[in-house]
Structure 1
Amino acid sequence: MESFKKLFDRFLNAIVKISSTKALVALKDGFVLTMPITLIGSLFLLLANIPINGYADFMANTFGPNWNVGLNQVSGATFDILALITVIGIAYFYAKNEKVDGISSGIIALVSFLVVTASSTMSEKGELVGSVIPKAWTGGQGVITAIIVGLISGAVFSFLVKKKITIKMPEGVPDGVSNAFTALIPGLVIILGSMIIYQILKIGVDSTLPELIFKGLQIPLQNLSDSFIGGLTITLLISLLFWAGLHGPNIVMGVMAPILTANALANNALLESGKLSVAEGAHIMTPQVIDLFVKFGGTGLTLGLLIAAFISAKSNQMKSISKLSIVPGIFNINEPVIFGLPIVYNPYLLVPFIVAPVVGFIITYGAIAIGFLTPFTGVQIPWTTPPIISGFILGGFSGAIIQLIILVLSVIIYLPFMKKQDKVLVESEANTSNE
């Protein structure tokens, strides 16, 4: 047992070190920058594709066959530039965390990304159209390239500025002008490097960096994340790390969110073609599976624990914590019960804290695989949306039913463990009152 504890401690220490690296911090912070745009785009995409039978026919009969072109234009203008926002955000936060000019870093990274990206595309008639920025590589398919370019640009920019390999302006020059000249040499180095990469790949293999990365890295990563084992691993790590006091969702999804988002955006294309199904190649694993089915009510599906406590808790501590935590829990905030009960490092609740999300994942994955639930697209809803409601918005009655089943099962899973914990608390309170 002692050797296992030491091994577990080493594992946690390694996770802490990895999650606190400059690269992962910038990646997590930078990707958060995409949230407002994806939420806005999700609203318009949802209005164009509300999951209710007959909705599309009703709208077409009422407003004409082109009733949704404006809605699709907005969703395309948001989701299709996800890589651009990502590269700016990552480079910006990398530099900002290094205490140098984040705005300049982000702009240079954006230019660098455009330099390594194709500037031409094929028309439907097979004609080569130049002087364009193909949306195929500025959306989900360019996310991995955006991450790499953002991190490298941010790191190089920060290094050169901190080493004072810049043009120094005299004192008294306005900050805006001074920052612009400070960014000249780092920007020249980064963009020159991007140009060399583009030149080599274009002449050598007639391709670009986003195309090569998409084929060689992003597709395999998406396929790996989309597997049952991949989803199960994500689910287990999120719960295990949070039980150990680390923010599992931030750590795991900081790395996996871009990949799962790319899965969701790939499903968008199938939705537009009317072929959104697993049989047609749709991805099962998307951010919604984790956020709204595996951990609604908070990591560990602790809403089930709170309901179980309302059913049969006898200790004052369990009753008080459940009363204080139930409203935040409904809105997917469970820190009060995680740290108030606590669940962190609590041996009585480790098993249900891991098992309940795993059961939720298995049910959701299976429901999508057999066609009961339609694979999720780029539609995102605010993470504080209560369960059942969020399930209905994303998946209609099927989504609400799946969430309800998972919630009931989570209560059943937590109940015996909650009773054991409650018994210990009752005994502790009795001993305290007798002293």
Structure 2
Amino acid sequence: MNTWFNDKLLPAVMKFVNTRPLQAIKDGMLYPIPFIVIGAIFLILGNFPWAPVANFMTHTGLAAVCNQAYNGSMAIMAVFAVFGIAYSWVRNEGYEGVPAGLLAIVVDIILQPDTIKTVTSVVDSTKTSTSWMVSNVIDKQWLGGKGMIVAIIVGLLVGWAYSWFMKKGITIKLPEQVPSNVAASFTALVPGAVIVTAAAIVYAIFNLGFGTTFVEWIYKVIQTPLQHATDGPVGVIIVSFIPVFLWFFGIHGATIVGGIMTALLLANSADNNALYRAGELSLDHGAHIVTQSFMDQYITVTGSGITIGLVIFMLVRAKSVQMKTIGKLEIVPALFNINEPVLFGLPIVLNPLLAIPFILTPVLSGFLTYFAILFKIIPPFNGVYVPWTTPPIISGLMVGGWQGALWQLLMLAMTVVVYWPFAKKYDQILSAQEQASSTDNASA
């Protein structure tokens, strides 16, 4: 199996992973993360889950301030994504990427509607006001989760087109005496003019021909179906099985799957977050089950494979020197969701005995969590982005309240049960090897 994987499957996987588009998406999607984290903090403060604090924040006006900080950061994640993807593509081609990133933002805005056709205001808990039309505006909803797929498409197309102009030398070249920053602005002029013109033509086709916009069409035809596809058993398999399967062969599966799935998972999170802020976070109101929090806090918590159960065995019952030593080294990193010492030091990579619980555990956690939300045992996650290094229980509390923290604790306890018999058997193997080695050394 190892030979087949290394000779057949691994080259194909790595060829796909190293393609320019996937590299641009993987690198570009890192740029929104700091602003998502910052916005998530203000989101929690502005919508605090404890009534006394929430009332204080509302009455003092601090909630509005926090929400405004959220609106300028996490709520416009697609802007950072479209910049990052185009920038990463062009930079990886060896050219200055900032003009391409800014150009991608321009194109993204052009392809959006400039009119909010319906605005609904809440009068009281049972009534809403009449809607009206607002023109000559940028509708912020397309700058956030609802615009993530368009951000990816625009980022990739602008990155590719801008790089093509650079490679062909179709730019304005100024004398060497001209300052580099001035020359760079003129270098982007020709490709920028062509790309903006193309974007305007696309806008005209959709607006005049179909009475919609490109971003609305993409959301309806592509993004919504993809979000629904990931928000079911297929999505659970993708985020729980594929990463650990790749990790078994030494490939960073979480990075690969995250690079592909992050945009959709963040879009699902953004939808949940909007419901959470409106006080309507439930499946009945369209909340998603599989979100970024679903993956980060219940699939890769304590590291890929949820290896905390294995670490606990190594600390309390292991007899082999190797297991006891690695357990002591790993316990602190595990609290921050880092488990490379176990993956490569024990190892789990290419270890068929430990591969069984390593693959089984996140799949069990994924489907148990999925059905727990589906059957309303715990609520959907609130869409708050929690940094992946946040310790367990705390992260569960932040994304799902006390129910999320308790469920996370139950899933961590489950890992002990799953890992224990396999870890015990492997410990016996290591102990036997260590005893044989010490006997040989004594004989020598």
8 Å CA contact 2:37–2:385 kept in 1: the answer is yes
| 1:29 counterpart (24, 27, 38) | 27
| 1:106 counterpart (98, 101, 104) | 101
Deviation at 1:126, TM superposition (A): 4.6
Cα distance in 2 for residues equivalent to 1:390 and 1:139: 23
Deviation at 1:273, TM superposition (A): 2.5
8 Å CA contact 2:47–2:277 kept in 1: the answer is no
Cα distance in 2 for residues equivalent to 1:429 and 1:333: 27
| Structure 2: runs of 5+ lacking an equivalent | 120-129
Bigger shift: 264-273 or 72-81?
72-81
8 Å CA contact 2:173–2:183 kept in 1: the answer is yes
Deviation at 1:307, TM superposition (A): 0.5
After superposition, the C-alpha distances for 1:176-195 in whole angstroms (9 at most, x for unaligned) are 01111111111122111111
Cα distance in 1 for residues equivalent to 2:360 and 2:6: 19
**Structure 1 counterpart of 2:190:** 185
Cα distance in 1 for residues equivalent to 2:199 and 2:331: 52
Cα distance in 2 for residues equivalent to 1:73 and 1:177: 35
Deviation at 1:94, TM superposition (A): 0.8
Aligned partner of 1:83: which letter?
A
| 2:228 counterpart (223, 229, 253) | 223
Deviation at 1:61, TM superposition (A): 6.4
| 1:275 counterpart (264, 280, 283) | 280
| Distance verdict in 2 for CA 1:49–1:373, change over 3 Å | farther
Cα distance in 2 for residues equivalent to 1:5 and 1:279: 49
| Structure 1: runs of 5+ lacking an equivalent | none
| 2:112 counterpart (102, 112, 117) | 117
Cα distance in 2 for residues equivalent to 1:230 and 1:90: 24
Cα distance in 2 for residues equivalent to 1:173 and 1:287: 47
Equivalenced residues, count: 430
**Structure 2 counterpart of 1:135:** 140
**Structure 2 counterpart of 1:338:** 343
Cα distance in 2 for residues equivalent to 1:67 and 1:328: 36
Aligned partner of 2:64: which letter?
V
| Distance verdict in 2 for CA 1:209–1:351, change over 3 Å | same
Q: What's the C-alpha RMSD, in Å, of the aligned pairs?
A: 1.8
| 2:45 counterpart (44, 47, 57) | 47
| Distance verdict in 2 for CA 1:62–1:300, change over 3 Å | closer
Bigger shift: 299-308 or 392-401?
392-401
**Structure 2 counterpart of 1:213:** 218
8 Å CA contact 2:236–2:367 kept in 1: the answer is no
| Distance verdict in 2 for CA 1:221–1:310, change over 3 Å | same
TM-score (norm: length of structure 2): 0.92
| Distance verdict in 2 for CA 1:208–1:167, change over 3 Å | same
Aligned partner of 2:220: which letter?
K
8 Å CA contact 1:60–1:66 kept in 2: the answer is no
Cα distance in 1 for residues equivalent to 2:301 and 2:254: 12
Cα distance in 1 for residues equivalent to 2:322 and 2:56: 58
| Distance verdict in 2 for CA 1:420–1:20, change over 3 Å | same
**Structure 2 counterpart of 1:88:** 83
Cα distance in 2 for residues equivalent to 1:61 and 1:104: 44
After superposition, the C-alpha distances for 1:58-102 in whole angstroms (9 at most, x for unaligned) are 532685396622222222232331111110010011111111011
Cα distance in 1 for residues equivalent to 2:111 and 2:188: 20
Deviation at 1:229, TM superposition (A): 2.8
8 Å CA contact 2:46–2:57 kept in 1: the answer is no
Deviation at 1:7, TM superposition (A): 6.0
After superposition, the C-alpha distances for 1:16-67 in whole angstroms (9 at most, x for unaligned) are 111111111111111111111111111111123334xxx2355326853966
TM-score (norm: length of structure 1): 0.94
| Identity across the alignment (%) | 42
Cα distance in 2 for residues equivalent to 1:378 and 1:152: 29
Cα distance in 2 for residues equivalent to 1:283 and 1:361: 14
Deviation at 1:215, TM superposition (A): 0.2
Cα distance in 1 for residues equivalent to 2:111 and 2:54: 42
* 2:365 equivalent to 1:360: yes
Q: Which one scores higher on RCO, CA 8 angstroms, separation ≥ 6? A: 1
After superposition, the C-alpha distances for 1:358-388 in whole angstroms (9 at most, x for unaligned) are 1111222122222232212331122211111
**Structure 1 counterpart of 2:297:** 292
Bigger shift: 22-31 or 395-404?
395-404
Deviation at 1:395, TM superposition (A): 2.0
Cα distance in 2 for residues equivalent to 1:393 and 1:140: 20
Cα distance in 2 for residues equivalent to 1:161 and 1:248: 34
After superposition, the C-alpha distances for 1:185-213 in whole angstroms (9 at most, x for unaligned) are 11122111111111111111011111000
Deviation at 1:316, TM superposition (A): 1.0
SS at 1:375 equivalent? coil
SS at 2:79 equivalent? helix
Cα distance in 1 for residues equivalent to 2:28 and 2:257: 15
Cα distance in 2 for residues equivalent to 1:393 and 1:168: 53
| Distance verdict in 2 for CA 1:378–1:75, change over 3 Å | farther
